[in-house]
Amino acid sequence: MEKLIQITSGRGPLECQWVTAKVLKVFLEEVKKNTIGYEIIHRENGDENLTLKSATLLLKAKELDAFLKTWLGSICWTGKSTFRKLHKRSNWFIGVFELEGLEKINFNEKDIQFQTTRSQGSGGQNVNKVNTAVRAVHVPTGEWVFAQDSRSQLENKKLAIMRLKEKVAAIYIKQMEKRMQDTWSNHLQVQRGNPVRTFSGTDFKKNHQDKSFKKQRNILKKELKNDRHDLN
């Protein structure tokens, strides 16, 4: 199973770009922990160092739905801005989306048809009397290349495969770029409220912990007060 996932700050400010970079780090930690294969397909750096506008990843695993269930949606970070100290806002939202409908082109040498012919010189002159030139066609896409660099048919075949692979990969890259433009709407869909995950603090803790013992002291005081009342 393969899935394309986009982590995005949307149209959010610099703080959201900072959160996106932090979330990507946590996301990858959990991906590795769950032994999920991944590849970062595209990333757009933010407006400051250590910030990120968006990142698109290709995940590979037998089962991904259970893992992604805890990630897909809006992500909230609660904390004061590290860029604008006097800013009153304390909740910052980004989004994690699945990019659907993108067909990846899998390159397989079994899908190539080869034709051999004599190498041609300038003006159509035959250079060799034997068929050493190779024409390779990638059947699923219809893309083809021609190789006559070497006097060896085997070497020309290797060159043709390499060039054809690069040509087919270029189709996928163009497809990805088009898809990235079309999914810009995802950046506009980052909504506040009902986050699937919430982080806090500049150290990006998953759960906020109150390190002051004020609550515990208040509980103890209340218990002591009740005990005294009972004794009286």
201 burial (CB, 10 Å; 0-12 / 13-18 / 19+) is: middle
**Any idea what the CATH number is for the domain that residue 33 is in?**
3.30.70.1660
Query: Is residue 13 domain-resident?
Result: yes
pLDDT at 34: 93
Note the pTM of the prediction, 2 decimals: 0.59
pLDDT along the chain (232 residues), means of 10: 86 90 94 93 87 90 92 89 78 86 71 85 53 90 90 91 87 68 60 81 57 54 58 48
Which residues lie across from 143 on neighbouring strands? 138
Q: Assign residue 124 the CATH number of its domain.
A: 3.30.160.20
Asked whether residue 35 falls in the same domain as residue 95, the answer is yes
Q: Are residues 159 and 45 in the same domain?
A: no
**In terms of residue numbers, what domain contains 50?**
2-103+179-220
Dist. CA 17–CA 78, nearest whole Å: 14
Q: Rounded CA gap, 91 and 77, in Å?
A: 6
Number of domains forming the structure of the chain: 2
Are 39 and 137 members of one domain? no
Q: Tell me: the pLDDT tens digits for 55-89?
A: 988 899 989 999 999 999 889 998 888 778 777 77
pLDDT digits (tens, 9 = 90+) for 115-137: 988 776 554 455 555 678 999 99
- Cβ neighbours of residue 156 closer than 8 Å, sequence gap 6 or more: 132, 133, 134, 147, 148, 149, 150
192 and 157 both lie in a single domain: no
Task: Say whether both 80 and 191 belong to one domain.
Answer: yes
